[in-house]
């Protein structure tokens, strides 16, 4: 069952979306403002977020950044503003789709299907992974032993662990964790990779699982 978090401050739209999604057998949670959205997303870890940009408390793009700080949940943005700037900003912040109001409910549902179709695959399985002596639990966000990871560390680690054995380019990591504009800031990555290794690898100087591929990116090998 796909769990959807709807974030909107207009009760009518909220209600219409809720009814239609429940009718299609989605599990629905709702939030009326940005901070509630961030809290509930962290709490419930939904499979999809439908986010209205016109929120009373926070700027919509900040909510996207907030979510992207630790999660790669798919986000569909709703907005009354049809300007190019707004769209580009939201999409580059990490949104997966941008729908302009007014919209047909059929279109939105089709876009929900399109976005989840892509991501369901990748969300699959992988509850916990062994790295060296540590067990990393992705759903609980816990590591065995006395290891604690920061939000950014989790975010990076999740991307790597969800692609076991595959090369993940620096560009991909940087855009997903920090955003499109940070593709040049490779020293962010270097910083956090050393931290992750010191927390997880048996011998951080000679990593066995979090591998560097010079000039390309990083790879998690189980």
Partner DNA sequence: TCATTCCTGACGGGTTCCATACGGCCCCGC
Partner DNA sequence: GCGGGGCCGTATGGAACCCGTCAGGAATGA
CB 29 within 8 A of CB 44: yes
Please state the closest distance from residue 39 (CB atom) to a second copy, in A: 25
Residue 161 backbone dihedrals phi, psi, to 5 degrees = -70, -30
User: What residues does 52 pair with on adjacent strands?
Assistant: 78
Q: Find the helix or strand (DSSP H, E) in which 165 lies.
A: none
Q: What is the DSSP string of 37-94?
A: HHHHHHHH--SEEEEES--SSS-HHHHHHHHHTT----EEEEES---HHHHHHHHHHT
**Is residue 173 part of the contact set for DNA (CB under 7 A)?**
no
Distance CA 87, CA 63 (A): 15
Is residue 184 within the footprint of a second copy (CB under 8 A)?
no
Segment 95 to 124, residues that bind a second copy, using CB under 8 A: 95-98, 104, 106-107, 109-111, 113-114, 117-122
The correct pick among 113, 118, 148, 166 for binding DNA (CB under 7 A) is: 148
Local structure of 212: helix, strand or coil? strand
The smaller minimum CB distance to DNA, of residues 45 and 188, is found at 188
Residue 169: CB minimum distance to DNA, A: 10
| 130 versus 191: smaller Cβ distance to DNA | 191
Element (H, E) at 35: helix 34-44
Report which of 45, 44, 60, 43 is spatially closest to residue 7, judged by C-alpha positions. Answer: 60
Query: Which is closer to a second copy, CB of 35 or CB of 134?
Result: 134
Closer residue to DNA (CB): 95 or 177: 177
Q: Minimal CA–CA distance to 171: which of 216, 106, 110, 105?
A: 216
Q: Is 22 in the site for a second copy (CB under 8 A)?
A: no
Binding track over 127-156 against a second copy, x by CB under 8 A: ------------xxxx-----x-xx--x--
Interacting residue ranges for a second copy, rule: CB under 8 A: 74, 84-85, 87-88, 91-92, 95-98, 104, 106-107, 109-111, 113-114, 117-122, 139-142, 148, 150-151, 154, 159, 163, 165-168, 172, 175-176, 180, 213-216, 219
Applying CB under 7 A, the residues found at the interface with DNA are: 148, 150-153, 170, 178, 185-188, 190-191, 193-194, 197-198, 204-205, 212, 214-217
């Amino acid at each position: 069952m796909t769990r959807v978090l709807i974030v909107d401050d207009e009760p009518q739209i909220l209600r219409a979306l809720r009814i239609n999604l429940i009718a299609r057998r989605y599990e629905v949670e709702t939030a009326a403002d940005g901070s509630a959205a961030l809290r509930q997303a962290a709490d419930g870890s939904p499979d999809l977020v439908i986010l209205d940009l016109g929120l009373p408390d926070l700027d919509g793009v900040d909510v996207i950044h907030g979510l992207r700080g630790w999660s790669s949940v798919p986000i569909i943005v709703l907005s009354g503003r049809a300007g190019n700037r707004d769209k580009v900003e939201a999409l580059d912040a990490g949104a997966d789709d941008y729908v302009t109001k007014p919209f047909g409910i059929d279109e939105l549902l089709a876009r929900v299907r399109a976005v989840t179709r892509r991501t369901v695959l990748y969300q699959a399985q992988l509850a916990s992974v062994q790295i060296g002596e540590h067990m990393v639990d992705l759903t609980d966000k816990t590591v065995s032993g006395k290891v604690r990871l920061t939000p950014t560390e989790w975010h990076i680690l999740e991307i790597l662990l969800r692609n076991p054995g595959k090369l993940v380019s620096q560009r991909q990591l940087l855009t997903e964790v920090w955003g499109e504009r940070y593709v040049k800031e490779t020293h962010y990555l270097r910083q956090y990779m050393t931290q992750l290794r010191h927390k997880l690898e048996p011998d951080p100087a000679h990593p066995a699982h979090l591998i560097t591929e010079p000039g390309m990116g990083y790879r998690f090998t189980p």
